[in-house]
Amino acid sequence: MPKTRHPVVFAGAGPGDPDLITVKAMKALNRADVIIYAGSLVPESVLTWKGPHARTLSSADLNLVQIVDMMTAHYLDGKAVVRLHTGDPSLYGAIFEQMQALKKRDIPYQVIPGVTAAFAAAAAMTMEFTLPETTQTLILTRISGRTPVPDSENLESLAAHQASMAIYLSMGHVSKVSRTLVDHYGQDAWCAVTYKVSHPEEKIIYCRISDLDTMCREHGIDRHALIIVGKAVTACLENQEVLKSKLYDAGFSHGYRSAKNNLIPGRIAVWALTSNGRHLGGTLCRQVPQTRLFISSRLDRLEKNTSIASLQDSSPIARPAAVARNGQPDRQPPPPGGI
């Protein structure tokens, strides 16, 4: 009678804490006959979810051909094989080459995602990577080292965006990372080094970017860590006030909720005649509820063509050209009769 054969399962082990593995991956481990895990990165504590008769094999000292041969042999023997990778297998997991090799041998496979270290770090830091109108982009990357990075994706190019960034696999080049980040985020900007996040040995170190190299040397961190940088880190660390999201704004409609009427009697109108007035008005709108900022048409045109620092516009308002909520112009005229 032919043996029942099971697809090879590539599963994410999560960042280290056994409780941060997905339920689906936990069930796969429990059903597995053979678990081939990345022993240099996956802590053995994650293997607590394996079944009582499962065989566990570390791939720490194996090369690609040996790993694929091992998976193939157990698959052909009718075993349920789980290939267990750290974090999420799709991110720096080198699973594509393994899947290609299995495909050439007509061996089916499937992938179960996992929690990557950047998201475990954000949770440990109680930080949100994306903040309304402050930063809306997260970059996951690494610096070029023994594994080259395409020129179009070098750290200098990515750092120029000043977005939230989590830098993997780069602790051996921390001096270069620090110099690059200083150039784009500024030497006094905050960053975080998250070492073995979610492991018992977890450390989270905050420092100015200019001190990054020194802090890593003082704490003996040269691997198993992420560098996280961006305005979100500063906002979290300094407990800054940020603009509220539209998602829960009572004045914002979506498929599950209708906006409340924005035309509330008694609302405050602030008229900006100069660039400085616009700045001060925006600050006032963020701090005082139910306040709107109006920008003169002339000021609006000048700011599109002139450096803000050079504006000295004191002309009277010709007509309302833009309205701002929370200090940010939405380029919509006010309703007839004003507010």
Give the model confidence (pLDDT) of 36-70 as tens digits. Answer: 999 999 999 999 999 999 999 999 999 999 999 99
Number of H helices, E strands in the chain: 10, 14
- Asked if the structure places residue 337 within a domain, the reply is no
How far is residue 245's CA from residue 266's CA, in Å, rounded to a whole number?
A: 24
The pLDDT, as a whole number, for residue 195 is 97
- Asked if the structure places residue 98 within a domain, the reply is yes
pLDDT band at 289 (very low <50, low <70, confident <90, very high): confident
- pTM, full prediction: 0.74
- Asked if the structure places residue 263 within a domain, the reply is no
Q: Which of 114, 135, 159 is the last residue of a domain?
A: 114
- Asked if the structure places residue 61 within a domain, the reply is yes
pLDDT at 105 over 50: yes
Residues 71 and 146 in one domain: no
Q: Which of 49-63, 74-88, 303-317 has the lowest mean pLDDT?
A: 303-317
The pLDDT, as a whole number, for residue 318 is 32
The pLDDT, as a whole number, for residue 305 is 57
Residues 13 and 74 in one domain: yes
The pLDDT, as a whole number, for residue 267 is 67
Residues 146 and 226 in one domain: yes
Q: Which of 188, 222, 237 is the last residue of a domain?
A: 237
- What are the pLDDT digits (tens) for 210-245? 999 999 999 999 999 999 999 999 999 888 887 778
Residues 128 and 226 in one domain: yes
pLDDT band at 333 (very low <50, low <70, confident <90, very high): very low
Closest to 230 (Cα-Cα) out of 117, 125, 89, 90: 125
What residues make up the domain containing 144? 118-237
- Asked if the structure places residue 50 within a domain, the reply is yes
pLDDT at 312 over 60: no
pLDDT band at 205 (very low <50, low <70, confident <90, very high): very high
Sign of CA dihedral 244, 245, 247, 250: positive
The pLDDT, as a whole number, for residue 98 is 98
Letter string b/e over residues 171-200, b meaning 16 or more CB atoms within 10 A of that residue's CB: bebbeebbbbbbebbeeebbbbbbbbbbee
- Asked if the structure places residue 174 within a domain, the reply is yes
Domain CATH code at residue 106: 3.40.1010.10
Q: What's the DSSP call for residue 156?
A: H
Residues 105 and 127 in one domain: no
Residues 61 and 106 in one domain: yes
Residues 305 and 293 in one domain: yes
Which tokens hold the place of 27?
């069930």
Residues 107 and 28 in one domain: yes
Residues 193 and 303 in one domain: no
CA angle 191, 192, 195 (to 5 degrees): 155
How far is residue 37's CA from residue 7's CA, in Å, rounded to a whole number?
A: 16
What average pLDDT score do residues 151-180 get?
Answer: 95
In order of 58, 68, 147, 204, 226, the CA distances from 62 in angstroms are 8, 10, 19, 32, 25
Domain CATH code at residue 207: 3.30.950.10
Residues 124 and 227 in one domain: yes
Q: Is 43 exposed, middle or buried (0-12, 13-18, 19+ CB in 10 A)?
A: buried
Sign of CA dihedral 271, 277, 283, 287: negative
pLDDT band at 300 (very low <50, low <70, confident <90, very high): low
Number of domains in the chain: 3
Alpha-helix runs per DSSP H in the chain:
23-31, 64-76, 95-104, 117-124, 155-159, 174-185, 212-218, 231-237, 275-287, 297-305
Residues above pLDDT 70, as percent of the chain = 85
Q: Answer left, alpha or beta for residue 32, where phi above 0 means left and psi between -120 and 50 means alpha.
A: beta
Residues 194 and 222 in one domain: yes
Residues 83 and 151 in one domain: no
pLDDT at 331 over 90: no
pLDDT at 309 over 50: no
- Asked if the structure places residue 249 within a domain, the reply is no
Provide the pairing of β-strand 190-195 with 203-208: antiparallel
pLDDT at 82 over 90: yes
pLDDT at 319 over 60: no
Q: Which of 73, 98, 114 is the last residue of a domain?
A: 114
pLDDT at 81 over 70: yes
- Asked if the structure places residue 34 within a domain, the reply is yes
